[in-house]
Amino acid sequence: MTYRASSEEMKAGPKRMKCRSMPGSLLHNFFGPNLMFRYCPDREFPSYSYVPGRYPHPFSDPNGHSYKLNDISKEREPSGLHLPTDLCSGWQELHEYLFGIDLFNHGFYWEAHETWEQLWIKFGRSGREADFLKALIKLAAAGVKARECRPVGVQRHACRARDLFRLVLAMATENQPSIHMGGMNLQSLRDAADTIASNAVNIAGQSDEITSALPLTLLPGDIKSDGVPSE
């Protein structure tokens, strides 16, 4: 099922858009950051969501929010990071993946991109798990472009995410038949990416610094931690 915001909802602005549910633990909405679940509540958010050309670069600028820190730096080698065999199961304990979800849901798109990219590298940059992570990375990139008010970039990255989710679905085998990965329905993710691509102009035009730029919240299921419901 593809959700497309009505013209009335788009005109009303992010804070007044209706909350609509989708299968596979996906929720299309424009909730404010303070209303989100946290999957890694012990991890602190950066002091700002980086937008190129608007804020100091997190790593290279002395005023950057992660300057000389190794929390999500590309030079970082996660100590003791244990990768599950696949992301159809075992993802609940992959805290870097879940922290990326937190970052994305709260509008830290560039930071989510960086966090998931580390896992993408760890999974070998190719294959079903890596392509799933790359699709999430592309969704995060679409969020950055929305903050930059660049609808063409939003559409391009969202289309690439859609195609990658479609590819991951096509990789299902007898050993990995599930249409779920990372606790989310791949078909719903594919449709959500398509919705973002189709509404790129409106999304980019309504992005601001307070609400999430994309009309999408990622809600993996079967999480068992404080404040987060299990399905």
CA distance 110 to 214: 13
Mean pLDDT on 193-209? 91
> What confidence category does residue 91 fall into, taking pLDDT thresholds of 50, 70 and 90?
very high
Mean pLDDT on 37-56? 84
Highest mean pLDDT among 91-95, 144-148, 195-199, 203-207: 195-199
Q: What is the pLDDT, as a whole number, of residue 156?
A: 98
Average pLDDT, the chain: 76
Question: In sequence order, what are the residues at sequence separation of 6 or more whose Cβ sits closer than 8 angstroms to the Cβ of residue 147?
Answer: 49, 51, 54, 109, 207, 209, 213
Beta strands, E only, 124-190: 180-181, 184-185
Q: What is the pLDDT, as a whole number, of residue 8?
A: 39
Please report which residue ranges of 53-108 form alpha helices under DSSP H. Answer: 95-105
26-28 and 20-22 strand pairing: antiparallel
Q: What is the pLDDT, as a whole number, of residue 178?
A: 75
Mean pLDDT on 88-105? 93
Domains in the chain (CATH in brackets) are: 19-218 (1.10.3450.10)
CA distance 194 to 176: 24
Mean pLDDT on 81-99? 88
Beta strands, E only, the chain: 20-22, 26-28, 180-181, 184-185, 217-218
Both tokens assigned to 9: 């909802």
Q: What is the pLDDT, as a whole number, of residue 16?
A: 27
Indicate if the alpha-carbon torsion angle 13, 19, 21, 27 is positive or negative. positive
CA distance 162 to 141: 13
CA distance 43 to 15: 26
Cα 69 to Cα 43, 62, 170, distances in angstroms = 14, 11, 39
Q: Which residue has the tokens 């419901």?
A: 229
Q: What is the pLDDT, as a whole number, of residue 185?
A: 94
Mean pLDDT on 90-115? 93
User: Residue 192 pLDDT more than 90?
Assistant: yes
User: Residue 58 pLDDT more than 80?
Assistant: no
User: Residue 74 pLDDT more than 70?
Assistant: no
Mean pLDDT on 121-143? 96
CA distance 58 to 88: 32
User: Residue 194 pLDDT more than 70?
Assistant: yes
> What confidence category does residue 19 fall into, taking pLDDT thresholds of 50, 70 and 90?
very low
Q: What is the pLDDT, as a whole number, of residue 82?
A: 76
Give this prediction's pTM: 0.76
At position 230, the amino acid (one-letter code) is S
User: Residue 72 pLDDT more than 50?
Assistant: no
